[in-house]
């Protein structure tokens, strides 16, 4: 007899739990459907929040304290190497 009472209680509680969860599949608007799913299972952030971009470029400094652009430095060194290439030796 106890088993029948327990089985009845379990069935009643499971029906109540199913009635509480909203049916998000029936919502036609994608934004509202997403908020419905988010209420059921809130999203978990897996990546750190990105830092805001600076309002002005941050200058790169060399060890001697001067400011330089690494791309222009590479271009200058490449040009110097190309000037020393023997053409038609």
Q: Is 26 within a domain?
A: yes
* Residue 3 resides in a domain: no
Is 37 part of a structural domain of the chain?
yes
What tokens appear for 65 in the block?
């304290």
Assess if residue 38 is contained within a domain.
yes
Does the pLDDT of residue 12 top 60, yes or no? Answer: yes
What span, in angstroms and rounded, lies between the C-alpha atoms of 64 and 60?
Answer: 12
How many domains, the chain?
Answer: 1
The answer to whether residue 34 is domain-embedded is yes
Asked if the structure places residue 70 within a domain, the reply is no
Percent of the chain with pLDDT over 70: 66
Domain for residue 27, yes or no?
A: yes
Alpha-carbon distance of 46 to 43, in angstroms, equals 9
Domain limits for position 30: 11-42
pLDDT digits (tens, 9 = 90+) for 28-69: 999 999 889 888 888 777 777 778 888 877 766 666 766 666
């Amino acid at each position: 007899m106890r088993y029948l009472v327990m089985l009845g209680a379990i069935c009643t509680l499971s029906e109540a739990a199913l009635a509480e969860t909203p049916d998000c599949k029936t919502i036609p608007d994608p934004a509202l459907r997403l908020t419905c799913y988010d209420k059921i299972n809130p999203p978990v952030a897996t990546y750190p929040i990105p830092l805001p971009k600076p309002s002005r470029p941050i200058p790169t400094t060399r060890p001697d304290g001067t400011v330089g652009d690494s791309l222009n430095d590479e271009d200058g060194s490449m040009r110097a190497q190309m000037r020393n290439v023997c053409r038609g030796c």
